Amino acid sequence: MNTKTALITGASTGIGKELATIHASKGGNLIIIARSEIKLNELKKELEQKYQVNVVVIAKDLSDLNAPQQIYNEVKQRGIEIDYLMNNAGFGALGKFYELDLARQISMINLNVTSLTALTHLFLPEFVKRNRGKILNTSSTASFMPGPLQAVYFATKAYVTFFSNALSEELSGTNITVTNLMPGATKSEFGAISGMDKTEMFKEAATAHSVALDGYNGMLKGKIDVISGLKTMQKLMMAAIPFMPKKMVLKQIRQMQEVK
């Protein structure tokens, strides 16, 4: 049984909810974070009844820059020690950058980049002090390339990948690992919210459970990168990207993201 305590952001739906369920199924306690207190409390009730674990709910909007410190303070006040930090919350928006709402783009950067960075900076010193702990950051296969029609989203995920990989090396020689989870198209609320569910890219999307399981197991093994949910043809395309002319890559990615 896994008696470790995991803090998971974006835990009310999709990959985050599946990560919470997988961790609880192994006997682990949880702090689950998302905006919807109703959904979090439903998940808390379900996991506590089914797996006899302790689940703490913290309803916060992580696009609010004060949220990470507030979360950290609440965890400290409760006297809970975090073993696994899973920065999973994120969202995207489909369309031409100059036509999309600026406030929404800034919120995306705050959620996908700034809050993830802040939570890591708040909890990592304790991991270092204890010389144990695991971090799982949900990035995306979008981090491999620029993303016309999702310019900001792809850029935020590139940040997550490079940030996670750099931390992994900084922590080499310790018992702390940082794993970067890079899902392909995944069936979840993310697709509907971003508008991506209507594109070619999401035609054969992976399940949130399969992606979460790959990420969770990769984290336990201390892997640096975990790529999940890609078909064979998509894997070949990813491998070819560095060798293709950038203009061709950009056109191809744009076509994949256009709503048919």
Active site residues: 153
Contacts 24+ apart (CB under 8 A), 65-69: 65/110, 65/114, 65/115, 65/118, 67/115, 68/115, 68/118, 68/119, 68/122, 69/118, 69/122
Q: Which amino acid is at 166?
A: A
Number of helices (H), then strands (E), belonging to the chain: the values are 10, 9
Count of other CB atoms within 10 angstroms of residue 3:
10
> For residue 202, which amino acid is it?
F
**Which 8-state DSSP code applies to residue 64?**
S
Contacts of 247 (CB under 8 A, 6+ apart): none
Distance CA(242)–CA(246), nearest Å, equals 8
Please name which of 143, 158, 32 lies closest in space to residue 84, comparing C-alpha atoms. 32
Neighbours of 230 (CB within 10 A): 17
Query: What's the rounded Cα separation, in Å, for the pair 161 and 142?
Result: 10
Which alpha helices (H) appear in 186-260, and where do they start and end? 189-194, 208-221, 232-240, 246-257
